[in-house]
Amino acid sequence: MPSDSAYWLISAPHRRGDDQDLFRSVKALVGDNAAVGGLEIPDLKTGTLSSLLNLSDSLPKYDAYFTQTVSKLLDTIRSLVSDDKQKMRSYTTVNDQPVDRYVIPSPGSSQGWKWDRSRWGSGGKVLEVVEALNKLALTTRDVVIQEMASIDTVQKQKLQNYNYIKGNLSSAQRKRTGNLSTRSLVGVVKKEDIVLDSEYLETLIVAVPNNLVKDWNEKYERLTAMVVPRSSTKIASDSEFTLQTVTVFKKVKDEYVHKCRENKFHAREFTWDETAVEKQKQDLADLEAEEKELWTDLLRLSRTNFSEAYQLLVHLKTVRVFVESVLRYGLPADYSGVVVKPDAKSSLKTLKSLSGYFSFLTTKEKKGAGSGDGDVGGEFGAIMDQEYYDFVLFEVPEVPV
């Protein structure tokens, strides 16, 4: 069964030779159980039957790629706005209008979704239109478009740059906020806490688990030889660790660190730097500024790319409607299309009504039409094998916010 969280693109032959008959009939049929709008199916050149059959076989692959790209854009926007519903609605628009108003511009009107003739023309070869949409091959058509492949490539690069800086910022923030075994010691250790400029001695900084402080006090002088007696001083503590100093001869430093590890004491790497505090603050401020700038750029790009990608997806779906309609109903193209957005609670009833109305088209064995046994596809789920109905039906995913 088609998903109740999708727009259904439907085509069928004219019953009375009137291209408005399908819209009026479907609208009357579904009543208040679904929103209905017109659907302009382009009049394209089909080429040979063999090429049309090959195209019908390859279109699901492009469909899956287009749908996946739109889904990834949605995930990126959702992550950037922390799943804020109001902001999601603001950034997931098509040509600055809500998605539902793009797919069904005027609910209840036959003047609905229109093929973008300014970009993909009318009467062109269907294969060239698909190539232009997906950038599968060079074409000589004078149509300048931003192909889905370009959107995907640019988006990936921008997202990669943002995630890299965000990761660096998160790492820098953890160094300021973690426990004493991991956080930066800049600003924690003071100059007077350590021995400086000694040819033989070095002060080590050790994070001792709070439950082992007694062990530390009993053992630190005897972990190795050449430890300065009574040189351990507590300089900080948190809920997990106590920071201790100990002064040893430089020649036993590596051995002492190893012994600390054996006793579950965490010797910290630390080098005194007079400018470290200010440098750390400046580095963090720079990272925060860069992350904010990239966040703004990525959100703006994602909004633009989503609008573009969703339009490409709907146009590709409409091409699929055209190809399937020609294969089903033949030429000349004596058929028309509608968009149906079912209500979730009555989608099965809507499908059964449509199946019953179009039963006059039965020419092939049905495969589960109106059975209600199929699973409803999730948000931008994998493209499943197309179920067979008496009429042509393809789904365009709704945008959940």
Q: Which residue has the tokens 């393809």?
A: 394
> Per residue of the chain (401 residues), what is the pLDDT tens digit?
888 889 999 999 877 667 788 899 999 999 888 999 999 988 888 778 888 888 888 889 888 988 999 999 999 999 999 999 999 999 999 999 999 999 998 877 767 899 988 877 766 677 777 777 765 333 322 232 345 778 888 889 999 999 999 998 888 877 777 889 988 888 889 989 999 889 999 999 999 999 999 999 999 999 999 999 999 999 999 999 999 999 999 999 999 999 999 999 999 998 888 777 778 788 888 999 999 999 999 999 999 999 999 999 999 999 899 989 988 888 777 788 999 999 988 899 999 999 888 887 874 434 433 334 444 344 444 333 456 788 999 999 998 76
Which domains occur in the chain, in start order? 6-140+310-397 (1.20.1460), 191-272 (3.30.70.100)
33 secondary structure, DSSP code: G
Tokens linked to 312: 């490409």
The neighbour count for residue 59, using CB atoms within 10 Å, is 20
Those residues with Cβ within 8 angstroms of residue 161's Cβ, 6 or more apart along the chain or in another chain: 294
At residue 401, the pLDDT reads 67
The neighbour count for residue 275, using CB atoms within 10 Å, is 9
The neighbour count for residue 189, using CB atoms within 10 Å, is 20
Residues 172 and 250 sit within 8 Å (Cβ to Cβ)? no
Query: d(Cα 36, Cα 25) in Å, to the nearest integer?
Result: 11
Q: What are phi and psi of 10, to 5 degrees?
A: -125, 140
pTM tops 0.75, yes or no:
no
269: burial class by Cβ within 10 Å (0-12, 13-18, 19+)?
exposed
Query: d(Cα 350, Cα 32) in Å, to the nearest integer?
Result: 10
| DSSP H/E element including 57 | helix 49-80
At residue 17, the pLDDT reads 66
* DSSP strand pairing (93-94 vs 266-268): unpaired
Residues 23 and 38 sit within 8 Å (Cβ to Cβ)? yes
At residue 386, the pLDDT reads 53
> In the sheet that 335-342 helps form, which strands lie side by side, from edge to edge?
34-39, 335-342, 6-13, 392-397
At residue 371, the pLDDT reads 39
Long-range CB contacts for residues 125-129, cutoff 8 Å, separation at least 24: 125/44, 125/45, 125/47, 126/44, 126/45, 126/46, 126/47, 126/52, 126/55, 126/319, 126/322, 126/323, 127/47, 127/51, 127/55, 129/42, 129/44, 129/319
